Amino acid sequence: MKESPEPLRAHLARLLDWEEAHVGFDKAVQGVPADQRGSQAAGFEHSPWQLLEHMRLAQKDILDFCVNPQYVHALKWPDDYWPRSPAPSDATAWDQSVADFIADREKLTELVRADDVDLFASVPTGKAHQTYLRAILLVADHNAYHVGQLIAVRRALGVWP
C-alpha cells in the first residue's frame, strides 16, 4: 500500500493500527490461551472473548456506515454490540473474529488513504456532524479503550506476557 502524501491521511492510517502510545490490537489478542478466552477475572465485567467480539462488531458497524450506501443503523446499543456468551462458540471462533477485525481495519485504512474520500464530508447515511474523519477517530478511540481493557483482563487472568 502506498504512503499517502497528505499528513492527515498518513497519520490516520497509522492511528488505526498504532502502537506508539500503547500496545496495539495485534499484540493484545496474540497468545490468549484457548481455555482462558471465555474466562472472567474477578472485578472485570467482560471476558477476553467478549472484548474481542465487541471491538469487532463495533468496528464492522462503523465501517459499514462509511461504505454502504444502503446502511441502516439496525443494531441496538449496547445489547447488540456485545456477545451474550462469555466464551467463543467453538475453537475457530476466536481466530475468525481476529481475522475479521484485521480485515475490516485494513478496509478502514484503505478508506482513509482514498484520495476520492473527503474526510471532512458527512457520511451520506449519517447526520451532518457524522463525518468520515469522526468515524475513523471513533474507531481508533474505541479500539484503544478496549485494547487496554483486554490487557488488564489478561493480566488479572495471569495470561499476559
Per residue in 21-76, pLDDT (tens digit) is 789 999 999 999 999 999 999 999 999 999 999 999 999 999 999 999 999 999 99
Q: What is the dihedral of CA 122, 64, 1, 99, to 10 degrees?
A: 150
Q: What is residue 18's DSSP assignment?
A: -
SS3 3: coil
Confidence of residue 4 (pLDDT cuts 50, 70, 90): very low
The CATH architecture assigned to 7-157 reads Up-down Bundle (1.20)
Would you place residue 105 in the very low, low, confident or very high pLDDT band (cuts 50, 70, 90)?
very high
Q: Rounded to whole angstroms, how far apart are CA atoms 93 and 73?
A: 25
As a whole number, mean pLDDT of residues 104-126 equals 96
Question: Cell numbers 490487557 correspond to what residue?
Answer: 151
Q: For the chain, which residues make up each domain, given as ranges? A: 7-157
